[in-house]
Amino acid sequence: MPEPLHIIILAAGAGTRMKSRLPKVLQTVGGRPMIQHVLDIALLLQPAKVHVVFNPGAHEVRDACAEYNIDWAEQAEQLGTGHAVQQAMPDIPDNAAVLVLYADTPLLESEVLQQLIDAPCDGLKVLTMKLDDPTGYGRIVRDEAGQVAGIIEQRDASPMQLRIDEVNSGIIMADASALRSCLEDLASDNAQNEYYLTDVFSIAQRKNIATAAVVAPEPQDLAGANDHIQLAALEGRYRMKKSEQLMKNGVQLADPARVDVRGQLKAGSDVFIDINVIFEGDNQLGDGVQIGPGCVLKNCQLAAGTRVHAYSVLENMRSTGACDIGPFARVRPGTVMASGSKIGNFVEVKNTTLGENSKASHLSYLGDSSIGDRVNIGAGTITCNYDGVNKHKTVIEDDVFIGSDTQLIAPVTVGAGANIGAGSTLTRNAPAGKLTLSRARQVTIPGWKRPEADKD
């Protein structure tokens, strides 16, 4: 039978170079903590168990991973990566295979990890990278047979070893019993006085335990982040990977470097996305959807043919047919737009259904409303839905015309085919098919003079 796979994720690092009160592994890439990316990749490998080594003082790490089924191992003292792995080993059986990952490497690909898992070696294996500039990385030292004789950290390497361009990614795969045997012999006689996990390879050589290395095809995907400069580089790489995936699926991007996908985005054919657009959460775009520049979409479902014009912000809304939104529109949670409907510039909509071919073209607020088909909402219209304690609903039936600068004091219903005169304030229901208006009579005061400023 195949060995059960146990994955250890190292997440106890303080990340002092981030200069942040937030633990390093909770710094975000693509809108999510780095550790969540790594956990998602780990779960794709279908492990028997995932073990996360964390600093018990950083309770935020456990809180951020509450949705995952994790065995937590505490590393109270920061004594190096070898020491960190030792904290998780007591809960791993000898017949297991162990994969060690790092919580600050969010760009990992499960296919590359699977190559490491499948590589023929029943001892210790390491995922390596070939770099033009290997500065800062541990060098892979191989013996004549090509096995890994040791991994030498930059600060401990000789001038000749520093010329080696194959470097350590930190990711290792091992037979649990072999790894446990090597961990028992770790020493801290190095420049940092720490227990390096990398030393298990030289120990394995002395114990005649087989070792091997697998070279990763894309070194950029194995990068971690120790400061905000490196974090920004990860963000850029993540952005490009998401953009490339979208373009391969037929999406046209005005500039792949200026689209941020911070979550999941599913898009149909002939979708166009302009520059500086941000997608958060789970978004779905139907065929032919167009997104203008500077828009922000969060958890939206847009039907085929929907157009979102520049600088609009949409959240938890959906369209059921081709419609127009924006520019400068804010569409808030609970909004549903039917085919042919329009929410125009400087219109805010919340918890409202907008029927077919109904339009609010500019400068209005529509909250907690049910709007029928073929309704025209004039500029400056407000549904006054909140009385200071409770929310109330406004119902506008089919074929209604609402004049400009109208206030609808909810709860109120405007019957089908009604017309509401501009400048009205409705406090009672408006009957169907009638003109309703509420205005003070216009009066001109004879002999009136404009006040003058005091001359003193």
Question: Which residues are annotated as catalytic?
Answer: 362
Is the torsion defined by CA of 52, 54, 56, 57 positive or negative? negative
Secondary structure of residue 198 in the 3-state scheme:
helix
Q: Round to whole Å and give the CA distance between 27 and 48.
A: 27
H or E stretch at 64: helix 59-64
SS3 sequence, 15-32?
CHHHCCCCCHHHCEECCE
Look up residue 423 and give its two tokens.
């400048």
Q: Round to whole Å and give the CA distance between 168 and 128.
A: 5
Q: Round to whole Å and give the CA distance between 226 and 149.
A: 28
451 upstream amide cis, omega within 30 of 0: no
Angle at which helix 176-183 crosses helix 81-88, to 10 degrees, equals 130
Look up residue 221 and give its two tokens.
């995907």
Q: How many CA atoms lie within 13 A of 251 on its CB side?
A: 24
Look up residue 317 and give its two tokens.
């809304």
- CB atoms under 10 Å from CB of 203, counted, come to 18
Look up residue 291 and give its two tokens.
């997104």
Look up residue 371 and give its two tokens.
């709007």
